[in-house]
Amino acid sequence: MTSTTERTQRGGINVARLLMSFGPLMFLALLIVVFTVLKPSFIDPINIFNIMRQISITGLIALGMTFVILTAGIDLSVGSLLAFCGMVAAVVAKGGTANTLSLSTSGTQGFGWFAALLAAVVVGALAGGVQGFAITRLKVPPFVVTLGGLTVFRGLTLTISNGGPISGF
């Protein structure tokens, strides 16, 4: 028996196992303490709400990507598809078109946020379905399909927005 096993059986703490299990959580707690000491308003409920609001989209994407990674898959197009779906939602909400995307509210009547959300979800589902079909039925490697999707969705997003920022929401 090794000394680590003996110590654990005697009721001692296995530091290596503790760090492997709770290391990231302990580091996060340490960061919160340090930031609170440096800036006491860090722990303010309004600031916590703002942080949660800012990370919500990234957190949802990370949750979905966790399942992809756990199944030994890869998806490089997630960020570009998110941008493309966001652009589709902006176009539908503002009532613009791909050729005349002036997202100012002067003179244009959009379709509303429900239609924009529905359009973004439908476009995302269709894009995912096309990529899934190429991977499962056509047997194209996922790396190639999602790299191509990244390029296509980024190009479509830049084309629709004319390479400029979207504002006025």
Judge whether 63 lies within some domain: no
Question: One digit per residue, pLDDT tens: the chain, 169 residues?
Answer: 555 554 555 667 788 888 788 888 999 999 999 999 999 999 999 999 999 999 998 999 999 899 999 998 899 999 999 999 999 999 898 886 544 454 444 445 678 889 999 999 999 999 999 999 999 999 999 999 999 999 999 999 999 888 887 776 6
Judge whether 22 lies within some domain: no
147 vs 85: CA distance, rounded Å: 17
Judge whether 118 lies within some domain: yes
Judge whether 41 lies within some domain: no
From first CA to last CA, the distance across the chain in angstroms is 66
pTM to 2 decimals?
A: 0.70
User: What is the count of structural domains for the chain?
Assistant: 1
Judge whether 78 lies within some domain: yes
Judge whether 123 lies within some domain: yes
Judge whether 14 lies within some domain: no
Tell me the CA distances in angstroms from 75 to 24, 31, 68, 78, 124, one per residue in order.
25, 30, 7, 6, 14
**Residue-number span of the structural domain to which 110 is assigned:** 74-169
CA-closest candidate to residue 77, choices 162, 157, 139:
157
Judge whether 1 lies within some domain: no
The one-character DSSP state at 77 is -
Amino acid identity of 61? Answer: I
